[in-house]
Amino acid sequence: MKKSLLITISTIITIIIVSIFATLLGFEIPFLTTSETSSPVTVAEPTVPEIRSEYPTNLIEGKITKIEKKESKTEFTIEARVYKIFLNPSFNTKAIVVSADKSTETFIYDMGKQEKTPTDIASFQIDDQVLIGIVESNRDIITATSYTAVKIDKMILEIEESS
């Protein structure tokens, strides 16, 4: 009985040693591998749209969709026009939050007269079309969600009636 136990133990040790060396050399051992074959996972690179080189990096155009007044600042949710920054983006607009405080310059810009008039943050309303100068770069708008406003222009078009 001692002899058969010794042969069994030595056989098991031999199988383990051979298995280790075979694995190190790249051989598959059927009883140590699963029946499923594993293939490398291919992850697609995220595609970043081409940047419009003529578009300023510190500018965002869009429409105000929400206004939230906080202690020392006002937060505007803007439906930003991504297509103005990038050529052929996967989406045309994106909701972002732009923070403005008392140091933010605010204007009403009449596109018909090409005149700019100072105003205050309280004059902005939902659905206003705005042009926003930001501290950060707009090039990361695909992933970024918030920006800091330096200047906000409310774009209007007044049509003069002729008498």
Q: What is the pLDDT of residue 77?
A: 97
Distances (CA, A) of 41 to 38, 44, 67, 124: 9, 10, 44, 50
For 67-98, give one letter per residue: b (16+ CB within 10 A) or e.
Answer: beeeeebbbbbbbbbbebbbeebeeebbebeb
pLDDT digit string, tens, across residues 74-88: 999 999 999 999 888
pTM flag (> 0.85): no
